[in-house]
Amino acid sequence: MTNTIKARWDDAFQAADKTQKLTSATRSALKSAIAEHGLWSDLRTLMLQGRNTGQLTKDELLTVAHILEIRVDGLSVDAADNTDAATLDDATLAHNTVETATDASYTPSLDAAMTVARDALDNLRPFMSDKVIGPLENAIAHVALAAKDDISNVVPIAPVPAGSLPQAKPVTREKAQSLFPIKSPSLCKRDVRVWDAVDAPRIDRAFVFQDDLLEDVLVALERSDTIWLAGPKGTGKTSLPREIAARTKRPCVRIAHHRTTEPVELIGSMYPASNGGVEWKDGVLTAAIRRAGTIIILDEPTFCRAGVLALYQTLLDHRFLTLAEHGGEVVPCAQGVTFVIADNTAGNGDATGRYSDTNNMNAAFLDRAAKILSVDYLPRGLEIQALMAKAGCDQNMAETIVDFAAKTRKAGEQGDITEGLSFRRMVAFAHDMLDGIDARRAFKNCIINHAPADDAVAINELAKAHLNFNKLTGKPAVSTGKAAGDFESVSL
């Protein structure tokens, strides 16, 4: 940012009314209004180093609103969501603030996400008792630590100089059975390309593969075919392609989408240079397709607006991007670049009500996927094996949790609750008990408190009828001398 532009930003920052309170609904409405303003693209480039609205603090959002002459009190928000903070009790404030911290994980910068979360906490501080402050600050810190693991293999949306990321190349071909813990005879004999990416994801030895699904994905990767993975949350839609990248040493980029994702974040733009001029920097998508062998995970694209979907539709069809702002440079997909779409829906909308705000994809976009693969919860035996490997619990605990999860999922299919337990909830439940927390308290911490109010009542009733807390003794798995994840199939 040049001195003149910085001075203008500082003047606007001082002039903006930063005493205004932003509820969750108002903040969302303000970010949408900013993103849709005709001058936003230029402003974010010149004054905000290309950051998007999700990376701005409350004061920065109000400063941008001041510059763009957007009246916060004139924004249209859902009255039901615009409850004044002063009317909320401590429990509601705590829930909303932790949700703000969690929602911040959609932003590409962990530091920016935590800034937003802590800013939200500061906004609510005058209305909360002291007993709530400490737990909320701990919760935000916990989100930060968890997010570090989740985004460790995600290239940030922050722009990067063109061609600055290390290249990879295929170095050998190996039989699938030497790379993956599988048993299918046809899959074991398949040749799989192995690359040499220095930044390939770390291998998760606790990951359990389904042979048929793995084979379908590996075949598509060999052809660089686009595939669509559809299924409930927590079934491994994003972790499966990431784990394949880890074991075949390929680069892997996950691009998380939301309603305010903008094409410029994906493609790139001109940015102020250190010498006072401007320079081109690739967006996350452009940087990814330049790298040979990259598996690009397009996470939840059904949240995207039409402009972003049109960009993807052209890219998936012709496999190149045209950088209009960079002299019309044409960037083709490098060798082996493959797109994996991961979504809770199959692109035809959500009839269950579980995944609000998802859009129907047009037929042309859906047709770009060579395969649409259903990713469901693991079969009982494999899920027990996976839970033992991931959580480190014994078979007795794993069987008890898995069988109860199956009851909740059946209730979800019947419409009695919104959705059954995800594998993440099961792992958290097991971890809490293994850490010495009483089983009933761990159940409340990790399952009941995560569920909507109506679901919580129904899940509690299911637990009374089908969950034997006395069998949940909190014993770790007996060591066999094998690495985590090297469990043999469970005898049932």
Total domains present in the chain:
3
Instruction: Give the pLDDT confidence score for residue 477 in this predicted structure.
Output: 59
∠ Cα 181 224 309 (to 5°): 115
Instruction: Give the pLDDT confidence score for residue 262 in this predicted structure.
Output: 85
Given 107, 128, 150, the domain boundary residue is 150
Q: Tokens in use for 462?
A: 């299911």
Domain shared by 61 and 120, yes or no? yes
Instruction: Give the pLDDT confidence score for residue 254 in this predicted structure.
Output: 94
- Domain annotation covers residue 133: yes
Residues 322, 328: Cα–Cα separation, whole Å: 6
Domain shared by 74 and 184, yes or no? no
Instruction: Give the pLDDT confidence score for residue 116 in this predicted structure.
Output: 57
- Domain annotation covers residue 316: yes
Domain hosting residue 353, numbered range: 160-374
- Residue 343 backbone dihedrals phi, psi, to 5 degrees: -150, 150
- Domain annotation covers residue 485: no
CB burial of residue 189 (10 Å; 0-12, 13-18, 19+): exposed
The pLDDT tens digits along the chain (492 residues) read 556 667 778 888 888 888 888 877 788 788 888 887 878 777 777 778 777 787 788 888 898 888 888 888 878 664 434 433 333 333 333 434 333 333 333 333 454 555 556 556 566 655 555 556 555 655 555 555 444 444 444 444 456 555 566 789 999 999 999 999 988 898 998 999 999 999 999 999 889 999 999 999 999 999 999 999 988 888 889 999 999 999 999 999 999 888 788 888 899 988 888 887 888 999 999 999 999 999 999 998 887 777 788 888 889 989 999 998 888 999 999 999 999 999 887 655 554 545 445 556 667 778 888 899 999 899 999 999 999 999 999 999 999 999 999 999 999 888 888 888 999 999 999 999 999 999 999 999 999 999 888 889 999 999 999 998 887 875 665 544 443 333 332 322
Given 91, 121, 150, the domain boundary residue is 150
Residues 17, 20: Cα–Cα separation, whole Å: 6
Q: What is the CATH number of the domain that holds 293?
A: 3.40.50.300
Helices marked H in 151-292 — which ranges? Answer: 176-179, 185-188, 211-223, 239-248, 263-267, 284-289
Instruction: Give the pLDDT confidence score for residue 259 in this predicted structure.
Output: 79
Domain shared by 128 and 225, yes or no? no
Domain shared by 321 and 431, yes or no? no
Name the pTM for this structure. Answer: 0.63
Given 150, 174, 198, the domain boundary residue is 150
∠ Cα 163 164 170 (to 5°): 70
- Domain annotation covers residue 476: no
User: Are the C-beta atoms of residues 335 and 291 closer than 8 Å to each other?
Assistant: no
- Domain annotation covers residue 243: yes
First to last CA, the chain: 64
Enter the DSSP assignment of 345. S
392 in the Ramachandran plot: left (φ > 0), alpha (ψ -120 to 50) or beta?
left
Helices marked H in 394-436 — which ranges? Answer: 395-413, 423-434
Domain shared by 107 and 39, yes or no? yes
- Domain annotation covers residue 70: yes
- Domain annotation covers residue 454: yes
Instruction: Give the pLDDT confidence score for residue 249 in this predicted structure.
Output: 96
Domain shared by 64 and 128, yes or no? yes
- Domain annotation covers residue 482: no
Domain shared by 175 and 267, yes or no? yes
Domain shared by 165 and 277, yes or no? yes
Domain shared by 171 and 145, yes or no? no
Q: Tokens in use for 421?
A: 């337990």
Strands of 252-256's sheet in order across: 252-256, 295-299, 338-343, 227-230, 371-374
Q: Nearest CA to 123 among 143, 96, 142?
A: 96
Domain shared by 209 and 332, yes or no? yes
Domain shared by 341 and 401, yes or no? no
Domain shared by 170 and 317, yes or no? yes
